[in-house]
Structure 1
Amino acid sequence: MDYDAKRVEEGLGHVHKEDISEKADKIEKDESSATPAQSVEQKGEEQPLIKQKSKRVATLDAFRGLTIVLMILVDDAGGSYARIDHSPWNGCTLADFVMPFFLFIVGVAVALALKKIPRISLAVKKISLRTLKLLFWGILLQGGYSHAPDDLSYGVDMKHIRWFGILQRIAVVYFVVALIETLTTKRRPTVIDSGHFSILSAYKWQWIGGFVAFLIYMITTYALYVPDWSFVIDQDHEAKRYTVKCGMRGHLGPACNAVGYVDRQVWGINHLYSQPVWTRLKACTLSSPNSGPFREDAPSWCYAPFEPEGLLSTISAILSGTIGIHYGHVLIHFKGHAERLKQWVSMGIVLLIVAIILHFTDAIPINKQLYSFSYVCFTAGAAGIVLSAFYLVIDVWGFRTPFLFLEWIGMNAMLVFVMAAQGIFAAFINGWYFESSDNSLVHWIQRHVFIDVWHSERLGTLLYVIFAEITFWAVVSGILHKLHIYWKL
């Protein structure tokens, strides 16, 4: 594709009448040589192929960019505003939408990327390689080797390396949903029958895969016996052992749930996340919902590690990717705006209703740490509604310009995740300091340009995150977009 055509595809260029005629002739030739099934699918489109692709990519990149922006906001400002930080246990805050939004958009992207598979073996190879890359980056960035951005040391004691994290969960979910999508390619329909549920039955193998993940999670969560367990932590240079009394099944509290038990047995307690959000519960600290010193009568489990991206909860997270794949299938097979929105919004509303009923009846509380079924439904429903809103505003109404910064960040999601969300760029800048490691450009800007000016640590931190991080990386991503450089998840 030449440069002008690429700009048109991205919605940045202008098409002359001569170009339209040439493209129309080319499309007619392609239709005459296409298979009957392909011709049916092409003739059912209401808009030119190039314009259709442009709008589709813009919406998905804007959604992906929004997810990255939310991650930066809650990671770096959540400490100042506990209400947007992760919920200490049951419930759902702004931070709790980040992970399922990632998995949802991964599913949508998989459906689009694998809608045409010339060779299954080659597709499986590419899926496997990408999974390994995500696992590698996940262990490197979140395993404990990197201490960015404030601690300028590096390295990790292999006795305490964290094996699972954000990218590792994305890798596992991506591998499962992409593999199912690839291996069922020969059973994939070219044209969907009329009917609201025809799209569901047409891709039954994807839903069967999600249902199997659901069964594994639910059976293990409620049937697995969790015995008493103990752990050792260093306090005041002295090793102290704590014991947690359990001996039960189906417990959904912090102490005795099956999710934590599986991780302790598979990874070992030393390899779990050492700063779980449950330490902000009222049972653990009087500063709740903020972080603070432990109560004198705090239960023993308050001191224990817990993996929020653990193995069993990742199996449940496959459902988020499965629902995302469904939204991608709708995008492929339904060509009209109204039909797409009808499918998307209706499923989003149903998922939200199911989640709210399960949560407020105390049947299955919404819980990010356990990645409960109600949490899957609630966050996937919200993702579907947000995607529909983006599609309506950007594609149907044509208001693309206000969301370009999200689109640019979404096009370079992996770069912004590594450099901003994981603090690698800030750590590089902090490495150039004067006399003290606290006397660096990053700390100077945060203190003198934001906190001191507004006379507020909380507000200054929030403004620093918005302007010195999110806005900065939006500009960088925009420049990379102009240079046609992209680094997505």
Structure 2
Amino acid sequence: MVAKQRIQSVDLLRGITIVAMILVNNPGDWSHIYTPLSHAEWHGLTPTDLIFPFFLFIVGISIYYAYKNKQPNTTTYKKIAVRSLKLIGLGLFLKAFIPTVPFIQDWESIRFMGVLQRIGIVFFISAIMYLNFNWKALSGVVVVILLGYWLWLGFVPLPSGTMPTFDRAPNNWANYIDFQVLGTHMWQPDYDPEGLLGTVSSIATCLLGVLVGKVLDNPIDRKAFILFSIGIILLASGCLFSIWFPINKALWSSSFVLVTAGYGTIILSLIYYIVDVKQWHFGGVFKMVGMNAITIYFLSEFIAKSFYLIPIGEDSNIHNWLYSSVFAHETLSNKFSSLCYAMVVVLFYLGLGFYLYRKKVFIKV
């Protein structure tokens, strides 16, 4: 967003979201995690499941402000495409990189999809739609995506003739498509949490962010209350929809889109009221992280992966050595020790965000 157009609450929520993403992605021991810091096994929702949709929701708000005065021409499309390709390229690099010669994984073991890849694809499609459709048309697109996704995954027979299911199984349409297209380049043999069909439905998450951005930009009274009310409606709609289409992050189900966008709008409305209306400033360091969100997220993933892959001795690596040497103690529970490791990682990136902000270094991807 252009500096004079910045909404403080959006920057703050973006920073909090990135910090939360770093927290849940960097436990000391993946076998010992507090339940709120792990994803639901399949159907259901935990606080961790809110993080990625919150970021895509904020991407939508940012699209509104970044392109509201842009024309749908070749120059604008080129800038959108370049940014999308950068995000996808960074994501593929993270999946392919190894910190030892030849520095690239075997082709068969490279995972094609991921967080940055999904952000890049969703950003590209959502930005193009925003430039060419008005808010009524965008609302219609969201409805079509949510209903069409439910009908496809729930009622269209698979090529074998069997009826689909929402369970984690071969006869789930999302799993079937991913396996047919991605093959061995998936997170797990039977599903990918950033798979192809889920990427389509996640466009609705981003477009809901675009629509909320329009409300934020509208000179109306009691804006925080209106945003809060919209959030309640989205949340209630998602809970109702979950009767027929369960809340599921791995599938990025239609009910998941509505529920997470509802929570995101509610939290944004509260932060907007506190920071932008009442001018009660807090959490400045999170805002600093949010100003370099993609850069800090990329570095956190790159360093974490390197720590797991750089060996120390015959049967250890940097991550395990640090955790066992510094954080794991008999007097502490395994889950608490694991959380302490994650918190130290978070403090490091908060410090990095603070440093970059003070030096006025803002790296745009």
Q: Do both proteins adopt the same fold according to a TM-score greater than 0.5, normalized to the shorter chain? A: yes
Unaligned ranges ≥5, structure 2: none
Residue in 1 that maps onto 2:292? 412
Deviation of 1:315 after TM superposition, in Å, equals 1.0
3-state SS of 1:225 partner: coil
Residue in 1 that maps onto 2:115? 166
Is residue 264 of structure 1 aligned with residue 179 of structure 2? Answer: yes
Q: Distance in 1 between matches of 2:284 and 2:274?
A: 12
Q: 1:341 aligns with which of 195, 215, 224?
A: 224
Q: Distance in 2 between matches of 1:118 and 1:375?
A: 33
Deviation of 1:322 after TM superposition, in Å, equals 0.9
Q: 1:464 aligns with which of 337, 341, 356?
A: 341
Deviation of 1:117 after TM superposition, in Å, equals 1.1
Is residue 76 of structure 1 aligned with residue 29 of structure 2? Answer: no
Deviation of 1:367 after TM superposition, in Å, equals 0.7
CA contact (8 A) 1:67 1:101 kept: yes
3-state SS of 2:9 partner: helix
Higher relative contact order (CA 8 A, sep 6+): 2
Structure 2 residue identity aligned to 1:81: I
* 1:231-281 CA-partner distances (Å, limit 9, x unpaired): xxxxxxxxxxxxxxxx5224111112111111122222x12112xxxxxxx
Residue in 2 that maps onto 1:205? 137
CA contact (8 A) 1:419 1:426 kept: no
Q: 1:314 aligns with which of 193, 199, 206?
A: 199
Matches within 5 A, 1:279-358: 304-334=189-219, 336=221, 338=222, 340-358=223-241
Q: 2:15 aligns with which of 65, 73, 82?
A: 65
Deviation of 1:64 after TM superposition, in Å, equals 1.0
Relative distance call for 1:425 and 1:161 in structure 2 (3 A) is closer
CA contact (8 A) 2:356 2:362 kept: yes
* 1:94-147 CA-partner distances (Å, limit 9, x unpaired): 2211221111000000000011115622111111111111111111113xx235
Matches within 5 A, 1:133-152: 133-142=86-95, 145-147=96-98
Is residue 388 of structure 1 aligned with residue 339 of structure 2? Answer: no
Q: 1:226 aligns with which of 117, 136, 158?
A: 158
3-state SS of 1:271 partner: coil
Q: Distance in 1 between matches of 2:312 and 2:231?
A: 53
Q: Distance in 1 between matches of 2:308 and 2:177?
A: 40
3-state SS of 1:365 partner: coil
* 1:80-105 CA-partner distances (Å, limit 9, x unpaired): 22512111111001221122111100
CA contact (8 A) 2:70 2:76 kept: yes
Relative distance call for 1:92 and 1:153 in structure 2 (3 A) is farther
3-state SS of 1:92 partner: coil
Residue in 2 that maps onto 1:17? none
TM-score, normalised via structure 2 length? 0.89
Relative distance call for 1:383 and 1:161 in structure 2 (3 A) is same
Residue in 1 that maps onto 2:39? 86
Deviation of 1:333 after TM superposition, in Å, equals 1.8
Q: Distance in 1 between matches of 2:349 and 2:101?
A: 22
3-state SS of 1:156 partner: coil
Identity of aligned residues (%): 30
TM-score, normalised via structure 1 length? 0.68
Q: Distance in 2 between matches of 1:329 and 1:462?
A: 38
Relative distance call for 1:453 and 1:60 in structure 2 (3 A) is farther
Unaligned ranges ≥5, structure 1: 1-8, 11-49, 189-202, 229-246, 275-303
CA contact (8 A) 1:91 1:367 kept: yes
Structure 2 residue identity aligned to 1:73: L
Deviation of 1:465 after TM superposition, in Å, equals 1.1
Q: Distance in 1 between matches of 2:76 and 2:269?
A: 29
Matches within 5 A, 1:351-366: 351-359=234-242, 362-366=243-247
Structure number with bigger Rg: 1
3-state SS of 1:375 partner: helix
Q: Distance in 2 between matches of 1:364 and 1:434?
A: 47
Structure 1 residue identity aligned to 2:250: Q
Residue in 2 that maps onto 1:427? 306
Is residue 372 of structure 1 aligned with residue 253 of structure 2? Answer: yes
**Count of residues paired in the alignment:** 360
Q: Distance in 2 between matches of 1:330 and 1:392?
A: 14
CA contact (8 A) 1:221 1:257 kept: yes
Structure 2 residue identity aligned to 1:99: F
| Higher relative strand content | 1
Structure 1 residue identity aligned to 2:227: W
Relative distance call for 1:79 and 1:409 in structure 2 (3 A) is farther
Is residue 252 of structure 1 aligned with residue 132 of structure 2? Answer: no
Pairwise CA RMSD: 2.7
Matches within 5 A, 1:126-137: 126-137=79-90
Structure 2 residue identity aligned to 1:222: G
Q: Distance in 1 between matches of 2:44 and 2:177?
A: 23
3-state SS of 1:452 partner: coil
